[in-house]
């Protein structure tokens, strides 16, 4: 049997989505263009100069991202763009140079913007506030260029000059977290969290955002009790904020509940995870009803995660129901914009086919995996890097289905070879190679 391949190649997948335990905030600035295009999807971001947006899309093209990751990175980039734009508007005696840097920012000429800020820093050893602010601005330019390691020393200097500015600590620790430098990140985060707590009345988002970073650190350093306490407090913070301003904070509350559910799932707290997913779904259903273009994707994402939870706990009928609803939402999205949402559709088809393989309902599994294979092959033809793992998983499920219906190993081997060839995930490659060694080197005999 293909039991280990089932786990490694075809297990229900949440990995095409933003990782729930790592999500801090979704600004919602960016969305894909509604166009039937082949290959990378162009994103539009509210409030970004079209010249800078062209630069952003070129950088995202080079990264070969799945759509969800592309939108997430674009949202994060836009938040930094807007922050830098606001910072440059606060210029003091260096207003002419700051205005020049701001114009370069709008043009997407980030190297030139950085050079102007280097010029400001070179002649500025008199005002600590301005020094700190311009080191911070210089770091933001490097981040807009997707060069976080070059941003790091400037964030560090900004924090050293003005540690009382919570956003300096937040950005500095954020880069350290992304580089898995947890030892350096923790003291910065602890100090920043205390400052954010003190400023909560002035800036209510400061505290839960910084607390989310602490939760991420605890999660990665295997301190589940501390991580659970942090995510629990984040949910409570956003619940209170959502009572005052539902329109602004309900989406953040739903995202925090997804984080909490992910943590509960990782620590085998399945009942608690289910409760958090249910609450998040209730919010997303309401939001998607009012603004389907903005929130239908999040509704389908949460349903997919809930379906994975139900599968993990052996609740096959519940898993089937959640994934079928996710599939329905993703079909609607893909019908509106195939280029943007077909990959999501194929992931859920894979998941549902896998569940139907276990129930078993092999005729449904066959229909679903064939559709997933058709989509994933088209996407792989257009962009190998973005769709390789998706195609490998579809091939893995197809191989398992053939095995379950007593096809000879000669029918499985081409699928396994192709899965190994197209996969980017090392575990997928290894699983496909291992199964080839098991099924493809022995004499080919009918089963």
CA distance 441 to 446: 14
Residue numbers of the chain with a pLDDT score lower than 50: 1-11, 15-27, 34-38, 93, 443-447
pLDDT at residue 10, as a whole number: 36
Q: 319-447 maps to which CATH number?
A: 1.25.40.10
Domains of the chain, by residue range, sit at 22-32+40-162, 319-447
CA distance 357 to 268: 24
**Residue in 79, 177, 92 with CA at minimum distance from that of residue 132:** 92
pLDDT digits (tens, 9 = 90+) for 322-331: 999 999 999 9
DSSP string for residues in 92-136: -TTHHHHHHHHHHHHHT-HHHHHHHHHHHHHT--S-HHHHHHHHH
CA distance 133 to 229: 33
**Tokens found for residue 246:** 């539902």
CA distance 399 to 378: 19
pLDDT at residue 14, as a whole number: 53
Residue indicated by tokens 């190649």: 9
**Residue in 349, 352, 297, 293 with CA at minimum distance from that of residue 320:** 352
CA distance 269 to 238: 22
Which pairs with CB-CB distance under 8 Å and at least 24 residues apart come from 279-288? 279/254, 280/254, 280/255, 281/306, 283/250, 283/251, 283/253, 283/254, 283/257, 284/254, 286/250, 287/250, 287/251, 287/254
pLDDT digits (tens, 9 = 90+) for 23-34: 344 446 777 664
The contacts of residue 191 (CB under 8 Å, 6+ apart) are 163, 169
pLDDT at residue 124, as a whole number: 61
**Residue in 163, 273, 197 with CA at minimum distance from that of residue 228:** 273
The reported pTM is 0.73
């Amino acid at each position: 049997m293909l039991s280990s391949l089932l786990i490694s190649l075809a297990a229900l997948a949440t990995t095409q989505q933003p990782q729930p335990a790592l999500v801090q905030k979704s600004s919602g600035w960016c969305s894909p263009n509604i166009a039937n295009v082949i290959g990378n999807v162009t994103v539009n971001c509210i409030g970004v100069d079209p010249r800078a947006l062209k630069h952003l899309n070129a950088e995202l093209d080079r990264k070969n991202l799945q759509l969800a990751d592309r939108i997430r990175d674009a949202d994060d980039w836009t938040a930094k763009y807007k922050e830098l734009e606001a910072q440059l508007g606060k210029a003091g005696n260096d207003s002419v140079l700051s205005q020049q840097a701001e114009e370069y920012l709008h043009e997407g000429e980030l190297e030139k913007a950085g050079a102007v800020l280097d010029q400001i820093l070179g002649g500025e050893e008199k005002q600590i506030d301005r020094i700190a602010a311009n080191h911070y601005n210089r770091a933001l330019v490097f981040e807009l260029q997707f060069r976080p390691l070059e941003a790091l020393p400037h964030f560090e200097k900004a924090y050293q000059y003005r540690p009382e500015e919570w956003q300096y600590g937040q950005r500095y620790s954020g880069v350290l977290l992304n580089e898995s430098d947890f030892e350096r990140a923790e003291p910065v985060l602890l100090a920043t969290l205390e400052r954010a707590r003190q400023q909560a009345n002035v800036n209510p988002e400061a505290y839960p955002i910084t607390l989310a970073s602490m939760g991420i650190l605890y999660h990665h350093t295997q301190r589940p009790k501390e991580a659970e306490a942090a995510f629990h407090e984040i949910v409570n913070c956003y619940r209170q904020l959502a009572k005052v301003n539902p329109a602004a904070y309900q989406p953040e509350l739903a995202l925090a509940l997804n984080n909490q559910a992910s943590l509960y799932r990782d620590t085998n707290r399945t009942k608690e995870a289910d409760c958090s997913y249910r609450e998040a779904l209730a919010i997303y259903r309401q939001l998607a009803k009012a603004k389907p273009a903005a929130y239908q994707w999040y509704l389908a994402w949460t349903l997919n995660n809930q379906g994975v939870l139900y599968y993990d706990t052996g609740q096959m009928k519940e898993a089937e129901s959640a994934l079928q609803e996710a599939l329905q939402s993703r079909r609607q999205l893909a019908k509106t914009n195939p280029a943007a949402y077909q990959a999501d559709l194929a992931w859920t088809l894979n998941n549902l086919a896998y569940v139907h393989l276990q129930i078993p309902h092999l005729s449904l599994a066959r229909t679903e995996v064939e559709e997933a294979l058709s989509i994933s092959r088209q996407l792989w033809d257009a962009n190998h890097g973005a769709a390789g793992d998706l195609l490998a998983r579809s091939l893995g499920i197809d191989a398992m289905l053939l095995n379950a219906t007593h096809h000879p190993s000669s029918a499985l081997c081409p699928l396994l070879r192709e899965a190994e060839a197209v996969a980017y995930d090392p575990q997928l490659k290894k699983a496909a190679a291992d199964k080839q060694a098991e099924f493809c080197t022995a004499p080919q005999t009918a089963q």
